[in-house]
Structure 1
Amino acid sequence: MRKALILFSSFAVLMAFGQEKRFVSVKKAMKLMGTAFEITVVAPSEEIGYINIDEAVSEITRIEEMISSWNIDSETSQINKNAGVNPVKVSQELFSLIERANKISEITDGAFDITYASMDKLWRFDGSMQRPPTDQQIRESVSKVGYKRIVMDVEAQTVFLPEVGMKIGFGAIGKGYAADRAKEFLISKGVKGGLINASGDLTTWGTKATGEKWMIGIANPLSKDKVFSWLPVIESSVATSGNYEKYVVFKGQKYSHIIDPRTGYPTKGINSVTIFAKYAELCDAMATAVFVMGKDSGIHMINQIDGVEVVVIDSENKIHKSSGILFNNNQ
């Protein structure tokens, strides 16, 4: 009887294994928020996977309609339009996003600042610049920048920019936030695993359909087809900022398209910054902040923040990393 029970139990286990659902990875690339997005989901079938992706796209589009500076009807555009005139009542979602952005500005001593949008666009990285702007022009360009000037009324849920010409923009945090929200939405729908890549702002959950971990490569800015090291991204996010595509050179000096909002001058000394953290929103903002702060100050700051790590590749193509990153610099 005991032997029969063992055989029956083994048969039941085999039956259960045979009935286990097989999942597939479904991927789709598209343009959203003015940039390249790629969404991968692990689903029971291709049909369900594409439905999940379409739902994620709807969520990202909703966020874009809220934070876009190009959409004249967005809440962000209304705040900018009423600068120096009236406070604007906004949704709790946008109010909270601005609060978190300002907190990052405090942590980074203004290296990250959503009022960077107030800067006059003196620097152009499309090949049309013949000479750098003057020091006076640069000083004037940042005269209306400063996150501490944003007036927020918690009870009324309003945002006010007190000076005409002030603007806010979410170019250095918006894609990461959208990726996070799309991820949360898909998880709420029961999607067991996936990856959202918002033009370098990447977030993952679960595993691949094969059960393998999601992996990202730290690329060589001087040869993008080569990888310094592969690192697993487990229930986490990554964002990379680089100056290898948008920059100008004057008198042999390379100037990045990433501008210090405190000074109006382009950053120097770094080729790329890759941030690892739980949320893509934080990765997105911190990648910009470290670029602005510089290698030493940026890594020192990241080492003080739990759950956040950084890999910096300097202008001489040397790798530097925070204390929690475990790979050999000589790879």
Structure 2
Amino acid sequence: MDVIPLEDEYLFTPAGDPSKPHTAQFYAFNTEIVLSAFGDEETVRAGFADALAACRRFEHLFSRTLSHSDVTRINTAGGKPVSIAEDTARLLEASLGYCERSLGVFDITMGSVTRLWNFVQGVIPTEEERMGALSHVDWRGVHVRTCGDGFEAWLDDPLAAIDLGGTAKGFIADALVDLLDAAGIRHILVNLGGNVAVRGGKPGGEPYVVGVRNPKDPASMLCTVRIADGSVVTSGLYERAFELDGKRYCHILSPKDGLPISTDAESVTLIAARSADCDGFSTTLCALGIEDGLAYAKTLPEITGVVYIDAENNVRSWSR
């Protein structure tokens, strides 16, 4: 099997066998992206190239660190309205909806707090720093509106900071599946570093099998989810964490105190028709803990299944 570099940006691996998918791999959003599809090689190759271009565009719109992204321009505009792309407006509106339904445990304006932490170097902000940053956290101060033929957004608090890291990958995964489907590709798997979205199952009618990682050994799988159409997204404390003086600090921070959440869930995996819903509710269901999270998931019509794993690797699941 040949692995062919395209434009030095991603690797395209042709199937070489009709029973196997074509694949592409590239890096975006600080994670590895894997695309997989069955079908005519020329059609799939063209679709993958369009998907790569879409990812580059999304990264330049949604990134919190790129200086000219829509998000950065909103965060640095001093509260003034900023012209934004339609995709940014759609993602912001959807994200505000997930904040509203999060029971107070998810807020996209946590950027002022998250930038104080460094989970690579093990940097912990002081209480004074946290409290100061938390005074600028309130998703209700984010506004989006149409403006002529375009869109604009602004912040009530000039010192607030939007961070779409908790919602963007799901939005993008859905967009990539829709893009590939529109290109005439019927058997699709998109994996954005663990955000998995599929459509059309496998050519023989079998569903895709998506692994749920073992929190104690993330290189292995503890269980699997079988799905032909929809998305599977996992949020886990093990994904980014560090230990200091015998205490573990995870990357999911509480809007109430700016500290890592306290939960009995090591990970939560959500299943839904749209990856945006999996991503948008995953932080909330992880933060709520297993019992409260399962109860709340049952009230969410978008969510069709949940898999919780606790610190002892016990699995609790529910599906409609």
TM over 0.5: yes
Look up the match of 2:137: 145
Q: Deviations over 1:114-141 (max 9, x none)?
A: 1111226333222444xx5443332223
| Runs of 4+ more than 4 Å apart | none
Q: Deviations over 1:254-296 (max 9, x none)?
A: 2211111232010233211111111111111211222222222
Q: Deviations over 1:3-59 (max 9, x none)?
A: xxxxxxxxxxxxxxxxxxx57510111101221100001112x34322221111112
Offset of residue 305 of structure 1? 1.0
Look up the match of 1:121: 115
- Which letter maps to 2:85? S
Q: Is 1:289 paired with 2:298?
A: no
- Which letter maps to 2:294? I
- Which letter maps to 2:49? D
Q: Would the alpha carbon gap of residues 225 and 122 (structure 1) be closer, same or farther in structure 2, given more than 3 Å must change?
A: closer
Secondary structure of 2:261's counterpart equals: coil
Look up the match of 2:48: 53
The number of aligned residues is 300
Q: Which structure has the greater CA radius of gyration?
A: 1
Offset of residue 75 of structure 1? 1.9
Look up the match of 2:213: 219
Secondary structure of 1:38's counterpart equals: strand
Offset of residue 174 of structure 1? 1.1
Contact 1:83 1:167 in 2 (8 A): no
Q: Would the alpha carbon gap of residues 319 and 194 (structure 1) be closer, same or farther in structure 2, given more than 3 Å must change?
A: same
CA distance in 1, matches of 2:144, 2:121: 39
Secondary structure of 1:70's counterpart equals: coil
Q: Deviations over 1:124-168 (max 9, x none)?
A: 222444xx5443332223111110111334566431112222111
TM-score (norm 2): 0.85
Unaligned runs of 5+ in 2: 1-17
- Which letter maps to 1:185? L
Contact 1:219 1:226 in 2 (8 A): yes
**Which residue of 146, 161, 168 maps to 1:167?**
161
CA distance in 2, matches of 1:218, 1:71: 32
Identity fraction in percent? 26
CA distance in 2, matches of 1:224, 1:73: 35
Unaligned runs of 5+ in 1: 1-21, 325-331
CA distance in 1, matches of 2:282, 2:289: 11
Contact 1:41 1:52 in 2 (8 A): no
Q: Would the alpha carbon gap of residues 116 and 62 (structure 1) be closer, same or farther in structure 2, given more than 3 Å must change?
A: same
Going by fraction, where is helix more abundant, 1 or 2? 1
Look up the match of 1:102: 96
TM-score (norm 1): 0.83
- Which letter maps to 1:189? A
Look up the match of 1:11: none
Going by fraction, where is strand more abundant, 1 or 2? 2
Look up the match of 2:318: 322
CA distance in 2, matches of 1:296, 1:68: 34
Q: Which moved more, 1:185-194 or 1:148-157?
A: 148-157
- Which letter maps to 1:31? Y
Offset of residue 183 of structure 1? 0.7
